[in-house]
Amino acid sequence: MLKRQPEQIIELKLLENRDDEKIQYIVSSAEQLGLKLSYAERDQLDDLAGEGVHQGVVAICKPLKAYTDSWLMAMLEQTEQPLLVILDGVTDPHNLGACLRTADAAGAHAVIVPKDKSASLNATVRKVACGAAEVMPLVMVTNLARTMKELQQAGIWIIGTAGEAEQSLYQADLKGPVALVMGAEGKGMRRLTREQCDQLVKLPMAGEVSSLNVSVATGVCLYEAVRQRQICDS
């Protein structure tokens, strides 16, 4: 946050009596930026962090920017070979945070989720994302099926992941404008989401388990797209 979006920070609260190198760096950076600093006991930081692990410092921040359908469509008009991720029913904030982090690392342009079937951008998501929540646009849409239709009309090929698909991920062409659809663990994609996909693919599963964690599966799919695009560019 200090490096990428310091203007989002309202105040930094630090653990009393901690004065190691990492804390000194944070304090120095915050002072240079003119940010408000205060000190608190561990119990106070524990309460602020909730389920998270604060490691001696908590940032109180403004809400993240909200991205809309209209922003998404405007972005697509200005983007060559867009790479999008659609998460259908991912309600675990740890999984959403991990997906945002992977999407940022792979160079995706946005992550799209339904408002009614997704984890919100809370403190847990932002912590797990390790900075990606501040830079990876998360587009929350009211009607996911309708947004997928609009993406198709804009020239995006929508590829869904399903264990019963006949084609492997590695047989799919991911070099063009693509949106990868990942379903919730267990249930997978909802029926309307599945029906809206142009193509279904599966990840090869050689072991006894039937599925991967959604954030791991998202990473596998995104980096296959990265691999194909790098070969195409070389």
Q: Pick from 228, 229, 166: which is nearest to 201 by CA?
A: 166
The answer to whether 96 is a known ligand-binding residue is: no
- Using CA atoms in the order 4, 10, 16, 21, what is the torsion angle rounded to 10 degrees? 20
Instruction: Please tell me what DSSP assigns to residue 1.
Output: -
Burial 162-176 (b: 16+ CB within 10 A, else e): beebeeebeebebbe
Q: Pick from 139, 129, 138: which is nearest to 215 by CA?
A: 129
Rounded alpha-carbon distances, angstroms, from residue 224 to 59, 80, 90, 139: 35, 18, 21, 23
Q: Residue length, the chain?
A: 234
The answer to whether 219 is a known ligand-binding residue is: no
The answer to whether 203 is a known ligand-binding residue is: yes
CA atoms within 13 A on the CB side of 8: 16
User: How many whole angstroms separate alpha carbon 49 and alpha carbon 59?
Assistant: 9
Instruction: Please tell me what DSSP assigns to residue 62.
Output: P
User: How many whole angstroms separate alpha carbon 107 and alpha carbon 148?
Assistant: 20
Numbered residues of the known binding site = 183, 203, 212
Numbered residues of the known binding site for S-adenosyl-L-methionine = 183, 203, 212
